[in-house]
């Protein structure tokens, strides 16, 4: 089976207004989400209600340069990931994440 790699970069224009990472690719088996190393503050990853506002954080908090991995073993989607409902929020405008995807 051949594996393919895709990547996307998402930034938040307005802090407190989460942005959909909007990964609608099929057959994703693993995703690495990295807070941009140029960020000056943490970002949060989560559902549409994710929030990076200090004191009200909601979601997975990533400091600049930090990475998290989501793999299909954590999924109920027949061994594949559905990342269409993944969002990012940032404390600072124009900061965000880079996402690398491994696909079947």
- pLDDT score recorded for residue 49: 96
Residue recorded with tokens 């999924």:
75
The domain defined by 4-103 folds into Jelly Rolls (2.60.120)
Confidence band for 68, pLDDT divided at 50, 70 and 90: very high
> Where on the phi/psi map is residue 58: left (φ > 0), alpha (ψ -120 to 50), or beta?
beta
Q: Judging by beta carbons within 10 Å of its beta carbon (0-12, 13-18, 19+), is residue 66 exposed, middle or buried?
A: middle
Q: How far apart are CA 61 and CA 48, in angstroms?
A: 15
pLDDT surpasses 60 at 75:
no
pLDDT tens digits, residue range 22-64? 777 778 889 999 999 999 999 999 999 999 999 999 999 999 9
Mean per-residue pLDDT over the chain, rounded: 90
**Domain residue spans of the chain:** 4-103
């Amino acid at each position: 089976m051949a594996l393919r790699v895709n990547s996307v970069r998402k930034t938040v224009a307005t802090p407190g207004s989460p942005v959909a990472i909007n990964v609608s690719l099929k057959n994703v088996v693993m995703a690495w989400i990295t807070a941009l190393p140029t960020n000056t503050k943490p970002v949060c990853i989560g559902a549409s209600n994710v929030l990076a506002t200090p004191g009200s954080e909601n979601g997975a908090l990533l400091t600049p340069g930090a990475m998290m991995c989501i793999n299909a073993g954590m999924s109920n989607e027949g061994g594949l990931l559905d990342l269409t409902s993944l969002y990012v929020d940032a404390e600072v405008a124009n900061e965000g994440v880079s996402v690398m995807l491994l696909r079947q």
